[in-house]
Amino acid sequence: MANIKLGFAPTRRSIFSAPDAVKYRGLTAGRLQELGVEFVDIDDINDEGLLYDENDRLKILEKFKASQVDGLFLPHCNFGTEYLCARLTKDLHVPVLLWGPLDERPEPNGVRLRDTQCGLFATGKVLRRFGVPFTYMTNCRLNDPVFARGINDFLAVCNVVKTFRNIRILQIGPRPFDFWSTMCNEGELLEKFGVELSPIPLPELTGEVKRAIADRDEVQKTIACCKANMEINVTEEQLENIAGLAVAMERLMGKYHCSAGAIQCWNALQGELGIMPCAANAILNEKGLPVVCETDIHGAITALLVEAAANDGTRSFFADWTIRHPDIENGELLQHCGPWPISCAKGKPCITYPLAFDYPGAVTAEAKHGELTLARFDGDNGKYSLLLGNAKGVDGPKGMGTYLWVEVENIKRLEAKIVEGPYIHHCVGIHRDVVPVLYEACKYLGVAPDLYDPIEEKVRAYLRGE
């Protein structure tokens, strides 16, 4: 899991039981520790370790900012102080988790000690007045399974937001001329979302390849890794170029402090190196450094988001929607020349020649079946959204490149949504159901979630803890 740090600011209100609020502050902190959650507490701010005073709130804000927390957890240990919660969230500008422990049975004389649920209603209203997006985890007990699930999902949401707010993509060459569909608005991505591109020309890449091959050590290790994990159907010289390209791209991503890449994979590169970059892309994708084809910047953004949502090291794959399944009504072929990570493969991948080019360097492998999330971040005319949905791997005819036949609920509905936009023929898949996490994260990203199946109520029910 990613290193996500929460600001832990349990809150109370004066007219309810302070001792019980302190009790639940301690119980909640203990449960977070059991779950392995990293958090910054406020025990040094006041004797109770609770948020209920404006002077304390200012100190808490300073501490959380200095600690660079990635999210804010506001347990309402009794009713809570809603306006202080709202001020803190507004100033901190990180994802917010609102929750409170389920109240006990009232005492025999009718006295209630905490009224947590009532306070959650109040805080939700005030957060909306302040224009603060927040995540709500249902009023439950600390040991209820829904608590652990909700915390882990929120950590994944924080990881998506943290990833999105720090995206810098290595753009290797301009898009291929024929791929008008992959054009993007660099200035708009920066202005709207803070997404940065680091463009470099192809000669800078090929020069780095030559240096990597001359240095030998990293290239030889990469060659050994390829031979150990893949069948090799190219010459030793071609394999050396593939490994040199992988090492070079990783070095350049480090040099420009990029978390993903997008490469002009044809056709100038073939004249310089004599290979396709697909296998080199696959090597980096397996390392958690997504590299996508045809300079598809929006595709690289998507890959980063879905892997952040999985939050467990599961690797994504970059694919074309290609053709309908010849036998399954709602089936579709996802395919690309070979950039998919090795861990996606059903069997042993082979480095060989691609479907449509005469140069080696592609990978052929069918991907594992199972349940999938398919996604695409995209936009045009100033509006951006995240296409989201589920699919499952199915049997189908043998393919070339990296490929997977999938079945969706309604291919005609999905097809129309892609054609009508703002999407294109590219998507990113991952062998996890991360739809709820991405759906929830969209409220913090300023991006509209766009479910290609009518499952919004199902997703919202999951997020409510049902």
Write the DSSP assignment of 19-73 as a string of letters: HHHHHHHHHHHHHHHHTT-EEE--TTTSTT--B--HHHHHHHHHHHHHHT-SEEE
Kind and range of the H or E run holding 202: helix 202-215
Please provide the size of the chain in residues: 466
Quick check: helix, strand or coil at residue 457? helix
For residues 419 and 290, the answer to whether their CB atoms sit within 8 Å is: no
Query: How far is it, in rounded angstroms, from Cα 97 to Cα 295?
Result: 36
- 362-388 b/e (C-beta count within 10 Å ≥ 16 → b): bbbbbbebeebbbbbbbbeeeebbbbb
* In the predicted structure, residue 114 carries a pLDDT above the cut 80: no
Instruction: Look at residue 123 in the predicted model and tell me its pLDDT.
Output: 97
Which of 85, 97, 29, 37 lies closest to 61, judged by CA? 85
pLDDT at 178: 86
- Those residues whose C-beta lies under 8 Å from the C-beta of residue 157, and which sit 6 or more positions away, are 71, 95, 135, 309, 437, 440, 441, 444
Please report which confidence band the pLDDT of residue 459 belongs to, taking 50, 70 and 90 as the band edges.
very high
Q: Report pLDDT digits (tens) over 182-236.
A: 899 999 999 999 999 999 999 999 999 999 999 999 999 999 999 999 999 999 9
Give the position of tokens 């595709």.
299
Q: Work out the pLDDT band at 82, boundaries 50, 70, 90.
A: very high
Q: Which helix (H) or strand (E) holds 117?
A: helix 116-129
Structure confidence by residue, pLDDT tens digits, 129-187:
999 999 999 999 999 999 999 999 999 999 999 999 999 999 999 888 888 888 999 99
Burial label for 260, CB within 10 Å (0-12, 13-18, 19+), is buried
264 vs 195, 205, 409, CA distance in Å?
Answer: 19, 11, 34
Whether the ω angle into residue 422 lies within 30 degrees of 0, i.e. cis, is yes
pLDDT exceeds 80 at position 111: no
Q: In which element (H, E) is residue 436 found?
A: helix 435-445
State whether residue 405 is helix, strand or coil: strand
DSSP string, 336-399: ESS-S-GGGBSS--EEE--SS-SS--EEEEEBP-SEEEEEEEEEETTEEEEEEEEEEEE-----
CB 313 within 8 A of CB 306: no
pLDDT single digits (tens) 278-326 = 999 999 999 999 999 999 999 999 999 999 999 999 999 999 999 999 9
Measured CA to CA, the distance from residue 117 to residue 139 in angstroms comes to: 7
Q: Is 80 exceeded by the pLDDT of residue 251?
A: yes
pLDDT at 176: 84
- What number of other Cβ atoms are within 10 A of residue 449's Cβ? 19
Pairing between β-strand 231-232 and β-strand 350-352 as defined by DSSP bridges? parallel
What is the value of pTM for the model shown?
A: 0.96
256, 260, 406, 229: which is closest to 328 by C-alpha?
406
Which DSSP symbol is given to 274? S
